[in-house]
Amino acid sequence: MAGLRRYRTVVSDSALWAGVAFRDGDIVISTPAKCGTTWMQMLCALLIFDTADLPRPLTEISPWLDAVTYDTAAVLAELEGQQHRRFIKTHTPLDGLPFEPGVTYICVGRDPRDAMLSFENAVANIHPDAMTSGGLDPQVSQPISEDPLERFWMWADAEFTPESPSFGVTLANLVHHVRTFWERRDDPQVALFHYADLKADLPGQLRRLGDVLSIEISQQRLEQLAAAATFERMRNRADELAPGVDANLWRSNRNFFRSGTSGKWRDLLDDAAVDRYTRRVGELAPPDLAEWLHTGLGSK
Q: How far is CA 167 from CA 97, 127, 161, 247, 279, in A?
A: 18, 16, 11, 18, 25
Query: What whole-number distance in Å separates Cα of residue 105 and Cα of residue 169?
Result: 21
**Is residue 8 situated within a structural domain?**
no
CATH number at residue 114: 3.40.50.300
- Structural domains counted in the chain: 1
**Is residue 1 situated within a structural domain?**
no
pLDDT score of 133: 52
pLDDT score of 129: 76
- Catalytic residue, from 91, 176, 194, 294: name it: 91
pLDDT score of 50: 97
Q: How far apart are the first and last CA of the chain?
A: 27
**Is residue 275 situated within a structural domain?**
yes
**Is residue 79 situated within a structural domain?**
yes
Q: Domain span at residue 32?
A: 14-295
**Is residue 3 situated within a structural domain?**
no
Q: How confident is the chain (300 residues) per 10-residue block, as mean pLDDT?
A: 89 95 98 94 97 94 94 96 97 98 97 91 73 54 75 95 88 97 98 96 97 96 95 88 78 69 86 97 97 82
Alpha helices in the chain (DSSP H): 37-49, 58-61, 72-81, 112-125, 128-133, 148-157, 171-182, 195-200, 202-212, 219-227, 231-236, 238-241, 253-256, 271-284, 287-295
Query: What whole-number distance in Å separates Cα of residue 93 and Cα of residue 181?
Result: 8
**Is residue 133 situated within a structural domain?**
yes
Among this protein's residues, is 91 annotated catalytic?
yes
pLDDT score of 134: 55
Query: What whole-number distance in Å separates Cα of residue 191 and Cα of residue 8?
Result: 24
**Is residue 2 situated within a structural domain?**
no
pLDDT score of 1: 67
**Is residue 39 situated within a structural domain?**
yes
